[in-house]
Amino acid sequence: MFSTNSIFSRNVANTNTFLTNADARNRILISMYAKLSVYVRTIRTLLIQYAKGHFYEVANILTNKVFNRMSVELNNLSADPSKYSDYENIRMGNVAALEGLYQSILQYANLVDSELKLEKAKECEAILNDPVKLEEYIKMLHGRRTLFKESNVTVVKATLKPEYAEYIRAYGFPEGGIFEMDKLALVCKRLNISLV
């Protein structure tokens, strides 16, 4: 009979251990990629909608609160780049895509605001370039008895959310006004801020 301590039995045992370790590592990787895939799908959908020109819809979905929550969630999915470099490359690529998309939404908001101001300026220009309208405008101004209408002015106190104050204190004001997702996530975690 064969001895159970033969060279063949030891090689089989080592192979089984190797296969088991490789299988466990593959399962971990599959789980990591599956979790990240949920965010990749969401970001891809937002990018497709933005590319189609649905800026307003994307801006309504990717609010500041959603951006902050996704920052923390994507940061929670981070892995050791020395062990999982490809995974981290994909995760960080999606973080950068989301940051860029958020910056484009802010630029879109600035564009809409500028267009409204331009429309108002065109109305004023129309009055200035039309002598009849200008005369009517001047008569209307002379008819007023007060320089300013009576109104109650209320001022809202400007406050900075704690996570942004801490981010600025720790890392400085972000270039372009977009807070880096991983740094913002670390701040939110450190301050125990619930974003759900």
7-51 and 85-129 helices, crossing angle to 10° = 0
Does this model's pTM top 0.85? My answer is: no
Please write the tens of the pLDDT for every residue from 81-125.
999 999 999 999 999 999 999 999 999 999 999 999 999 999 888
Please write the tens of the pLDDT for every residue from 27-37.
989 999 999 99
Phi and psi of 43, rounded to 5°? -65, -40
Yes or no: say if 166 and 188 are a contact pair by the CB < 8 Å rule: no
Answer with the residue of higher pLDDT: 21 or 169.
169
Average model confidence (pLDDT) for the chain?
Answer: 85
Nearest to 39 by CA among 69, 84, 60: 69
d(CA 102, CA 181): 11
At 24 the pLDDT is 83
